[in-house]
Amino acid sequence: MESLIFVGIGGFCGANARYLLALWVNDILTPRLGLFPYGTLLVNVLGSFGLAMFGVWFSGRTGMSAQMRLLVGAGFFGAFTTFSAFANESIDLIQGGRTAALLLNILLNNGGCLLGVAAGLYLGHRFFAPH
Per the structure, the count of domains in the chain is 1
Using the predicted structure, report yes or no on whether residue 10 has a pLDDT greater than 90: yes
Q: How far apart, in Å, are the Cα atoms of 126 and each of 47, 62, 108?
A: 19, 18, 26
Q: How many CA atoms lie within 13 A of 98 on its CB side?
A: 15
Q: How far apart, in Å, are the Cα atoms of 62 and each of 3, 118, 126?
A: 19, 23, 18
Using the predicted structure, report yes or no on whether residue 25 has a pLDDT greater than 80: yes
Q: Which residue range is the domain that position 17 belongs to?
A: 2-128
Q: What is the pLDDT of residues 87-102, one digit of tens each?
A: 999 999 999 999 999 9
Q: What is the pLDDT of residues 36-50, one digit of tens each?
A: 999 999 999 999 999
Separation CA 23–CA 121 (nearest Å): 28
Answer whether 28's CB lies under 8 Å from 92's CB. Answer: no
What kind and span of H or E run contains 83?
helix 83-95
End-to-end CA distance of the chain: 37
